[in-house]
Amino acid sequence: MKQKSKLCVFFLVFVFSSLTSLLAQGRLQDYERAAALRERFESQAINVPDRAVWIGKTPRFWYRKTVKGGHEFILVDVEKGTKTPAFDHEKLASALNKETGEKFTAVTLPFRSINFVDEEKFLEFEFRDSFWRCDLATYEVKKAGPARSLLRDGWQDVGGPAAQAASAESKTSPDKKWEAFIRNYNVWLRSLESKEEFPLSWDGNEGNYYTFQSILWSPDSKKLLAIRLRPGLHRKIQYVDSSPEDQLQPKYFTLGYTKPGDPLDLQQPVLFHVEERKQINIDNALFPNPYELSNFAWRKDSRAFTFEYNQRGHQVYRVIEVDGTTGQARALINEECATFFCYSSKKFRYDLDDGREIIWMSERDGWNHLYLYDGLSATVKNQITKGEWVVRSVERVDEERRQVWFLGSGMYPGKDPYFLHLYRVNLDGSGLECFTEADANHTITLSPDLKYYVDLYSRVDMAPVMQLRRVEDKKVIMELEKADISGLIKAGWRAPESFVAKGRDGKTDIWGIIIRPTNFDPKKKYPVIEYIYAGPHSSFVPKSFFAWNQMMSLAELGFIVVQIDGMGTSNRSKAFHDVCWKNLKDAGFPDRILWHKAVAAKYPYYDISRVGIYGTSAGGQNAMAGLLFHPEFYKVGFAAAGCHDNRMDKIWWNEQWMGWPIGPEYEASSNTVNAYRLKGKLMLLVPELDTNVDPATTFQVVNALIKAGKDFELVVIPGANHGSGGAFGERKRNDFFVRHLLGVNPPDWNKLEKKLPEPRPSFMPRSPEEIWDE
């Protein structure tokens, strides 16, 4: 009897092991399907256009669109009413292949953007970190230098230029009589007629020096502005490139990187009168503690110069005017906020009639709007836009007609408050008019003469349409593109679902999207994974059409994947945005969790007992914070390149939201300080050469987890810059969720001979959300 019992137990263990093995093998099919999804979907989305770009002041514009097998560039001439290929794609591909040894075709050219120059005789583009030029008469292609988009060493250093005892160059006055230059850290002048040289300043030295870059002549050549700079701490991060491709031994480099709390350079503008050889020091009472002084400019009549003062901590922002004769400073515009002035994404200023009027953007009434200032009296003449909606960007100011063209959102109750629409309004606030009628997200390009506009609109569940319209009557004068997604639908594509639920206050709508796998079965239960990026500088849930998104490939493994914009993100009311103030750990989680629960209440297959979360950069910080501060809801997290302690990250982003001086709120939001709270399953990923977020912040959180005796996983990607670790990082993330949310062992990649297909370049235009995500 005992022998039979043992055999029975053995048989059950064997069956269970076999079933587990079968499930694991079944998961490989899911991985293969997920890996092929991008090419499968994007190849079936035809005539999906990118944003139109007008060529200088001509009546012509170009855009790129998807075609079978790749993409094509289109040129439209409005006056002629023609739409043709922008250039000979085959000739350019052949010429580029000859120079590079590649095998590009007419539809697989390796660039997204072009630039017509020299009266449209030449075409410029970027490829492989280089800037290229094509002669459109001969189709000769030549490399013209390094790509303009390449980052330079020290890009996170907010300080000014280093001390320069003498400048190699000089700046000539508008009347061509004088040259200004730096000698012995001071400002000097040279007469171009007599060659006489003399100093204008005497107070410059190695520790408090004048900068050549700041020298600015007045239009009448009688006055000169220069900045005297006292340097602060110019922090350097040390990097070790452990695995360089061109040698065995590691390489080392440093990067200028200013962090919250660091002492900053102190800029002091100084006025000089040329004929009197007189220096006038400007009282800094209106700009005592600058984070930055910027946008220095003389009035055209030389009566004064202006600059913008961003106070450390970003609660005070001023436009300051300095009298060119007396050096007396006054504030033309003064913004003082209880939380923060969002200078990084909500600042707009436009001077009219040489500064006698100023258009200014502000959230002072609780919503982002435009105001018209009297530049002489420094008072508000009138509010140009108003209401419980927001101005998102100013597209054009028509000085002649005294009108402003802008993109706005949130004007229509019951509609998605993030959809962009085009509006025009008179400077006195009258005549507000909408130029986009479709209930969708609109990408607009205005013609240089403001007679036409290209309207590209779509939703996540609606294919793109591109039209050329006439401003005068809003009539469509050319149907440019209507995307064909019939093949995409046949390939199994499911449109994401836009979903809205109430936030923590029971009143505010919280918007997000739901992505389901292609083999979705409503009778099954699905674990949920949230893709999070709660950076306060924008909103991030996609609003425009996409054939493929990385969330779709993750969902294909057997999940429902969602993305949500909670409170603390931008593009809603000021109160909505202010939730992030000195509280980045909030990340909108109370709203997100309620949103999840609302989805689960509607859809029984939405299993909120198994919720994962992942993100990169600020999203990496958010993903880990979900596990630390809301362990009752989020069970599994993947955090890539996270800024886990805001004191360790770049100054401009973190002091904007967390404030200055450094206070206890930084520790309260720190994943490192709160690492002891970890209860769920956590995987951390760090790119070795991350120049955006200091890699040390991940290692510090690892150290804290070890000290707290916590269990977690760490992935280090040698040689990688900021991101989620490429294909390997995504596979590690996917395996982690499969193992801990599905309860299934992922494929044993070390035993498999068959490898998953490598990701291929995308044919699809990038959305603003994708660019922010980078």
In this structure, the chain runs to a length of: 774
Structure tokens that stand for 94 in this block: 């052949």
Backbone phi, psi, residue 85, to 5°: -60, 140
Scan for tokens 């890009």, then name that residue. 155
- Residue 46's nearest CA partner among 67, 64, 69, 71 is 67
Whole-number pLDDT of residue 769: 39
The answer to whether the CB of 455 falls within 8 A of the CB of 442 is yes
Report yes or no: 418 and 441 within 8 Å, Cβ to Cβ.
Answer: yes
- The angle at the Cα of 647, spanning 643 to 651, to the nearest 5 degrees, equals 90
What Rg do the C-alpha atoms of the chain give, in angstroms? 29
Tokens matching residue 63: 């855009």
* Predicted pLDDT at 155: 64
* Burial grade of 520 (CB within 10 A; 0-12, 13-18, 19 or more): middle
d(CA 704, CA 260): 21
Closest CA to 138 of 188, 88, 69: 88
Look at residue 150 in the predicted model and tell me its pLDDT.
Answer: 53
Q: How far is CA 140 from CA 71, 96, 133, 137, in A?
A: 22, 9, 8, 8
- Distance separating alpha carbons of residues 156 and 134, to the nearest angstrom: 34
Residue 322 bridge partners (DSSP): 305, 329
pLDDT score for 17? 41
* CA 424 to chain CA mean position, Å: 26
- Mean pLDDT, consecutive 10-residue segments, the chain of 774 residues? 48 42 58 95 97 98 98 98 98 97 98 96 94 97 82 67 94 98 98 97 98 98 98 96 97 96 98 98 98 98 98 98 98 98 96 98 98 98 98 98 98 96 98 98 98 98 98 98 98 98 98 98 98 97 98 98 98 98 98 98 98 98 98 98 98 97 98 98 98 98 98 98 97 97 95 72 44 40
Question: Angle between the 618-629 and 589-602 helix axes, to the nearest 10 degrees?
Answer: 70
Please choose, from the candidates 745, 652, 774, 756, the residue with its C-alpha nearest in 3D space to the C-alpha of residue 19. 745
Helices first, then strands: H and E counts in the chain? 12, 43
As a whole number of angstroms, the distance between CA 3 and CA 15 comes to 18
